[in-house]
Structure 1
């Protein structure tokens, strides 16, 4: 009987050639065709450029597990990669469960699936849930490509070794300039072998620099990682694998280019998607302390204040010290924790929110974060200031409000919004390729950067920018793009 071998994985790239996002810049390379990094990638889609990485082991990354399916293209039917996040819970990509046919199962404890018999455990899928925003087969193109799987059997991974999942309080972990570890059992090139657990380090990029595919990289729902020259990236079979920054899973391998030679796109977890994953896991995350607000909403006139209780519960492993903070505060609003912003899990703190006399009326979503040694968890408070901004809708403005570019060139503008009830969601019409907003959801006192791509047909185009507030009211402004 072979000794079980433990493994971790390479993330091999599905990237594309970066197009400059400055006005007047022309693309230097073509647009890549986007594809999911599953076993359905065809070798004929691109040349066999090796995507670098290195062998690793399950012993080094004990939460990594291989996703299998009947008819899967990898060794023993390997199709995707995943992470153990609970006693019977696995985190993977939604398209691994919806887009690929065939009965699904998981193999644990094998560093190389090309040698059957090395695994320590195999279990079938009892059920799974995809994010409510995932639109079904092909939904990875628009985002929400994440799923939580429940297995038939208990997984042989101790709680202390389960993967930690990011949430909306961890947005700093996916800021451009950070870098993370990608793991997977996928191919080492678009036409190469697969089944070995590998790892690679990928930088986090500004999504504006990653608009090199035939579909848009949505920075609100996706993390653009890797490089534009194919030096290392995710490939077929790496789908669903973790992207880890500072010990936390901040993304799930989702898609890239059909040639595995450009940027690797991850489903973002440092937002409400991660909060959804945590809820589906059921509070079984490592360092499973809890945080809640009572009440979770309130109203204060400008210059007045309102209070709520921040209630925490200790994990089974015992109490730990927590640092409390509040973010996404409306302009001029202060947040005070009593008796202190540092408490021990199991204790209660009083939070007082006080808008200033100049804070605009509106309804605001405030994020309360409790950060401990094991994890950071969040709760949301809805603050209504004054009349909630019920009389006027949002008013967006674009600065500058026009630009001139060559065919296929790029230009940027800053979008600011006043009035209405924050936060606001931005959309636009008037171009063959819709503009990209970073971020697409704008919170009080903040702005968004709009990036537009000039059509290849010369002429003057009027872009209508629409801001929609939380009450469904809309406001518009226009932006003129001249292609010469």
Structure 2
């Protein structure tokens, strides 16, 4: 791994320039050198076709997800970074992520998020993957290429709960935080982007850059609009964001005041952030829910009893009990983690803190046997609380362990080509985690784990060396039992 790598903080627009964008903190206007030619502006996305742009390293320091638990990697099918990494983003809610609008609109291909890995060049280190269910770009974002005029922010909803505790969600600035982006403030950019226009990527880095007066940052062929953008960094290439940092956070005093939007195509000038210390931040907060990340809440919630058993085609009920905190509030009840074929119904669906509700788990005849932890949530004005109910279907699962199958079970593809197959898991206890061996770059699974009877899509890239490769797919259930199947890949 490289010893130096610059943070990618500005989301680059699609293929506008031949080199990734980098932004540098501006010097005082009187000291800034005049540019003979305006710098070509571009968004730092992986779709840029790299040319002979700046060879300077955009200096930064290695960092980790443990130090920045809200940082998450944005991936897409066909993405140019390791494992398809395309952008960087921040976790701001149970299933909410904030990133750049151009990461969702300008960059094509199916998208998902990967969490927990400091170096994407080595596979299998991540702790979590989840698909994108939906996203909302700012309503004033003008579509492909809209980063040039501003409003480059989006809020993403994921398919699964994100493995980040509420207390570690990133805080998002709003119109009341304008002091955080006054010129002279210092902030931190974090991202998985390139270390230079032509450097490596996929390793998490951070760098510190100052906030500048936008009037001193007009060195691009695109105008820096101070109402919608924040100019950070330097005009001499000493440190900046670059390709792959798009959508990542720029934080001041622990608050995200901007997301990486664009910069110069050589990653050798200022970095431009989508401003959140204005109405854009207020909009993002409203989309996230509640305006600010929820707190720990003052109430409590419990499910009594905390476990139960039902045969396929039957149902079982329990009581959701809440206790009031220091203020009355309305609590909305919901459930996640139930297996395919199990529906959860609350009666009523919302209660006042201190009241109870009935919860019924209706098990379809087709539901696979197994033990399933189901998360019951209560959300109020002071935050959210959860309790776990363990539902056992039938006798709790097969003693034979999970049995994965791949369809098709083989494929022939040209060197470097991509292949997809459906992997279905039968039997086992609870959800089975999927993995594979046999290739230098391990296949990816969407989702990463499936319940009995569930299906995951396996995606892989063929090696550049012709030959026949035997890929062994392993499913590991919650009881630790494993099952395997083979997929044969012929590379021509």
Q: By the TM > 0.5 criterion, same fold? A: yes
**Which one of 236, 244, 259 corresponds to residue 252 of structure 1?**
259
Distance, in Å, in 1 between the alignment partners of 2:190 and 2:8 is 5
- Tell me the residue number matched to 2:111: 104
> In the alignment, which residue of structure 2 is the partner of 1:10?
7
Residue 145 of structure 2 corresponds to which residue in structure 1?
138
TM-score, normalised by the number of residues in structure 1: 0.56
1:172 and 2:179 equivalent? Answer: yes
Q: Residues 19 and 199 of structure 1: is their aligned pair in 2 closer, same or farther, counting only changes over 3 Å?
A: closer
1:67 aligns with 2:74: yes
> Distance in 2 between the 1:317 and 1:82 partners?
34
Cα displacement string for residues 392-423 of structure 1 (whole angstroms, at most 9, x for unaligned residues):
xxxxxxxxxxxxxxxxxxxxxxxxxxxxxxxx
CA distance in 1, matches of 2:124, 2:253: 33
Q: Give the superposition deviation at 1:212.
A: 0.2
C-alpha separation in 2, matches of 1:287 and 1:16: 34
User: Equivalences for 1:11-410 in 2 at 5 Å?
Assistant: 11=8, 14-15=22-23, 27-44=34-51, 46-283=53-290, 285-286=292-293
SS at structure 2 position matched to 1:279: helix
Does the 8 Å CA contact 2:59/2:195 hold for their aligned counterparts? Answer: yes
Structure 2 residue runs without a partner (length 5+): 10-20, 298-323, 328-382, 384-492
Q: 1:17, CA displacement in angstroms?
A: 10
Contact 1:54-1:199 within 8 A present in 2 as well: yes
C-alpha distance 17-63 of structure 1, shift in aligned 2 (>3 A)? closer
| Whole-Å separation in 1 of the counterparts to 2:58 and 2:89 | 20
CA RMSD of the aligned region, Å? 2.6
What are the Cα deviations for residues 318-344 of structure 1, in whole angstroms up to 9, with x where unaligned?
78xxxxxxxxxxxxxxxxxxxxxxxxx
Cα 1:57–1:211 change in 2 (3 A) is same
Structure 1 residue matching 2:211: 3-state secondary structure: strand
Q: 2:224 aligns to what SS in structure 1? A: coil
Distance 1:318 1:106, change over 3 A: farther
**What is the Cα deviation at residue 14 of structure 1?**
1.4
Equivalent in the alignment of 1:481? none
Secondary structure, in 3 states, of the residue corresponding to 1:57? coil
SS of the aligned residue for 2:63 comes to strand
* Deviation string, structure 1 residues 140-173 (Cα, Å, up to 9, x no partner): 0000000000000000001000000000000000
Cα offset, 1:283, TM superposition = 1.2
Q: Deviations over 1:168-203 (max 9, x none)?
A: 000000000001010000000011100000000010
Distance 2:96 2:202 in 1: 22
Residue 148 of structure 1 aligns to a residue whose secondary structure is strand
C-alpha displacement of 1:288: 5.1
SS at match of 2:203: coil
Unaligned 5+ residue runs, structure 1?
1-7, 291-315, 320-373, 375-484
In structure 2, relative to structure 1, the CA distance for the partners of 1:284 and 1:156 (3 Å cut) is farther
Check 1:213–1:318 CA distance in 2 against 1; reply closer, same or farther (3 A cut).
Answer: farther
Deviation by residue 1:114-144 (Cα, 9 ceiling, x = unmatched)? 0010000000000000001100000000000
In 2 relative to 1, CA 251–318 (structure 1 residues): closer, same or farther, beyond 3 Å? farther
The alignment partner of 1:176 has SS state of coil
Deviation at 1:285, TM superposition (A): 3.3
The 3 A distance-change label for structure 1 pair 317 and 29 is farther
Give 1:278 deviation, angstroms: 0.4
Measured after TM superposition, the shift of residue 282 of structure 1 is 1.0
C-alpha distance in structure 1 between counterparts of 2:219 and 2:249, whole Å: 23
Give CA deviations for 1:411-467 in whole Å, capped at 9, x if unaligned. Answer: xxxxxxxxxxxxxxxxxxxxxxxxxxxxxxxxxxxxxxxxxxxxxxxxxxxxxxxxx
How many residue pairs were aligned? 286
Q: TM-score, normalised by structure 2?
A: 0.55
How far off its partner does 1:47 sit? Answer: 2.6
